[in-house]
Structure 1
Amino acid sequence: MTELAVETHGLTKRFGRQLAVDDLDLAVPRGAVFGFLGPNGSGKTTTIRIVLGLAAASAGSVRVLGHDMPKALGTVLPRVGALVEGPAAYPFLSGEANLRRLDAADRHASPRTRDQRVVQALERVGLSHAGAKRVRAYSLGMKQRLGIAAALLRPRDLLVLDEPTNGLDPQGTREVRSLVRSLADGGTTVVVSSHLLAEIEQICTHAAVMRTGRLVAQGSLDELRGLGRSRLRVLTPDPGRAREELARLGLAVEHEDGVARADGTATVRAELPDEPPLLETLAAALVAADVRLRGFEVEQDTLEDRFVALTGEGFDVAQ
């Protein structure tokens, strides 16, 4: 059985009559880069706040790093770094001074090695050149990186990042992705909450999908992709005969507008069953039915197709 870094059972959160999180069973494997995906307002941040002890659940249970929460806050939180709902910093202080203040508030941190920790945290997020600047002069992306640096002042078993690339330029985004991968390679479990599908696909090993407070799917990325459909795509100048033959073979033929291309061919698509016939058999049957084949391939639902189907809503899929 896979050891879990975060697990919830029946987790529920109500705000008056609004049900923000509805009976959530979440399972984050240790060592994973876990994408927490869903449209804005789907309940991701509320769930994270409950997991970290920043909000109380209305019902259900939470375990983090093997301990019941919020009972074990004092034991668990020193092992957890988090950036939730954007970074907060004193604008009139420098980035370095902000990190020193945060480090000083940690009763488990040795004052003798504080400067070293601050320098290393700034280096890891690419802010060494701006550590002496006041935070009021930082761009949004720089503030985001400073927030991640604060989460990395000490070694962490679990790192929780809520929209970590918000406001970052493409270079900053690549740096954060590289940082997340390096942390995971070092044994840290990383939870990345995002509404950006590209974010999840490029850095995560596992994911969960939320919709209006409910969990609609979770698992490894390969497992989630496997939930999608496979379709046969046939390019032919004989679309009518192709549809008839595919239907005769028991395939569900998708509706097409029948518009031919400039070369006189049209596309016919049919959904393949879980155990489809051999492609060679399908091709031979079409040829035997006098269907001229100009193209013949299997199309698989992308992760984007699958997530949009699960949530009923679109995602931002590009940076």
Structure 2
Amino acid sequence: MSTGLAIETDGLSKRFRGHDAVADVALAVPDGSVFGFLGPNGSGKTTTIRMLLGLVSPTAGTAAVLGSPMPDGAAGVLPRVGALVEGPGFAGYLSGAANLARLDSADPLADPRTRRRRIGEALDRVGLGAAAGKRVKAYSLGMKQRLGIANALLRPRDLLVLDEPTNGLDPQGTREVRTLVRGLAEGGTTVFVSSHLLSEIEQMCTHAAVMRTGRLVAQGTLDELRGAAGDDRLHLRTPDAEQALAALTGAGLTPSLSGQEVVAPLQGRPVEDLVAALVAAGVRVRGVRLAEASLEDRFVALTGEGFDVES
């Protein structure tokens, strides 16, 4: 496996009862990145994560996490990995702090002498310090989600794997998790985030990958993915829509009418040249704006499905 990668897979596949849940996935997650793992429900994201953590054995292919093969290297790797997968599960009759103490005591590598301090710090980092003594059965879904993240942070981690970390959080909680993830990355921790919230990935991540029906269909930096979305688009306001459509078609573009605007992909053409051509054709130009290609455009093109874009 290559150096400089926190996660690397080659041909990773998983079949369930003759069905390919994950097929031939080749992930490359750089060290120190915040890596968004995107895809519609049922696209194979959680199954892939479970294979990366050694919870499920692959049918074919290989996976390495923090430089060690999985699942064979799980004993050495997992103490360096914090994970929140498929939602947290806690004892409702215990407080948040007591739940974390119970989980920490089950970790043979955790130092019991620093347990109380570490639990307090983890709860403070996710904004639950004031609710540390409250029974978890009285926690909201968002509070339980944050408690799960706190559990993943009880010890220093080289890799943090979060499956839908903002699920159930209010806007303030979402911002807190976003800030937390950024802070962890700045400290050298690689963060692997599975999410369907496109806005969160755009604000939180440096890299991303897109899954569709069990297959990896794109990955790279956010700028690379945006660049692959296609050309930027010209939006033109004019009272001469028909003339504008004809002029842009004559210029080799494929314009269309969208509401009160004429829209055309630029195909690398300078906006200034197109505006000059429109004016020369007698088109009255009332306004021009440029719409840059977006991640949403790319994801919809790749998956055939939309993503939730608001938290």
TM-score tier by shorter-chain length is: over 0.9
Q: Percent identity?
A: 66
Instruction: Report deviation, 1:290.
Output: 1.2
Instruction: Report deviation, 1:2.
Output: 7.2
TM-score by length of 1: 0.93
Question: What are the Cα deviations for residues 239-279 of structure 1, in whole angstroms up to 9, with x where unaligned?
Answer: 2222222122211223x27x6xxxxxx42222222x32x32
Q: Output the amino acid matched with 2:276.
A: A
Q: Name the SS of the counterpart of 2:279 in structure 1.
A: helix
For the pair 1:268 / 2:269, whether they are aligned, the reply is: no
For the pair 1:92 / 2:93, whether they are aligned, the reply is: yes
TM-score by length of 2: 0.95
Q: Name the SS of the counterpart of 1:252 in structure 2.
A: coil
Instruction: Report deviation, 1:123.
Output: 1.1
Aligned pairs for 1:85-234 (under 5 A) are 85-229=86-230, 230-234=232-236
Question: Which of 279, 290, 301 is the matching residue for 1:298?
Answer: 290
Stretch deviating more after TM superposition (291-300 or 53-62)? 291-300
For the pair 1:287 / 2:279, whether they are aligned, the reply is: yes
For the pair 1:237 / 2:239, whether they are aligned, the reply is: yes
Distance 1:317 1:199 in 2: 8
Question: What are the Cα deviations for residues 204-260 of structure 1, in whole angstroms up to 9, with x where unaligned?
Answer: 111111111111111111111111232222222222222222122211223x27x6x
For the pair 1:246 / 2:248, whether they are aligned, the reply is: yes
Question: What are the Cα deviations for residues 103-129 of structure 1, in whole angstroms up to 9, with x where unaligned?
Answer: 111111111111111111111111111
Distance 1:134 1:296 in 2: 57
Partner of 1:68: 69
Question: What are the Cα deviations for residues 292-312 of structure 1, in whole angstroms up to 9, with x where unaligned?
Answer: 111223222222222122111
Q: Following TM superposition, where does structure 1 have runs of at least 4 consecutive aligned residues deviating by more than 4 angstroms? A: none
Question: What are the Cα deviations for residues 69-98 of structure 1, in whole angstroms up to 9, with x where unaligned?
Answer: 111111100000000000011112211111
1:42–1:212 Cα contact (<8 Å) kept:
yes
Distance 1:170 1:215 in 2: 30
Q: Structure 1's 300 and 147: CA in aligned 2 closer, same or farther, altered over 3 A?
A: same
Aligned pairs for 1:10-29 (under 5 A) are 10-29=11-30
Distance 2:117 2:228 in 1: 47
Q: Output the amino acid matched with 2:146.
A: R
Instruction: Report deviation, 1:318.
Output: 0.9
C-alpha root-mean-square deviation of aligned residues, in Å?
1.5
Distance 1:313 1:307 in 2: 8
> Which stretches in structure 1 are left out of the alignment for 5+ residues?
260-265
2:85–2:163 Cα contact (<8 Å) kept:
yes
Instruction: Report deviation, 1:53.
Output: 0.3
Distance 2:45 2:22 in 1: 8
Distance 1:101 1:272 in 2: 59
Partner of 1:312: 304
Q: Name the SS of the counterpart of 1:48 in structure 2.
A: helix
Q: Name the SS of the counterpart of 2:77 in structure 1.
A: helix
Equivalenced residues, count: 309
1:228–1:300 Cα contact (<8 Å) kept:
no
1:35–1:206 Cα contact (<8 Å) kept:
yes
2:3–2:67 Cα contact (<8 Å) kept:
no
Q: Structure 1's 79 and 92: CA in aligned 2 closer, same or farther, altered over 3 A?
A: same
Question: What are the Cα deviations for residues 123-177 of structure 1, in whole angstroms up to 9, with x where unaligned?
Answer: 1111111111221121111111111111000000000000111111111111111
Distance 1:270 1:139 in 2: 47
Q: Output the amino acid matched with 2:296.
A: E
Q: Output the amino acid matched with 1:15.
A: F
1:235–1:294 Cα contact (<8 Å) kept:
yes
Q: Name the SS of the counterpart of 1:184 in structure 2.
A: helix
Q: Name the SS of the counterpart of 1:217 in structure 2.
A: strand
Q: Name the SS of the counterpart of 1:141 in structure 2.
A: helix
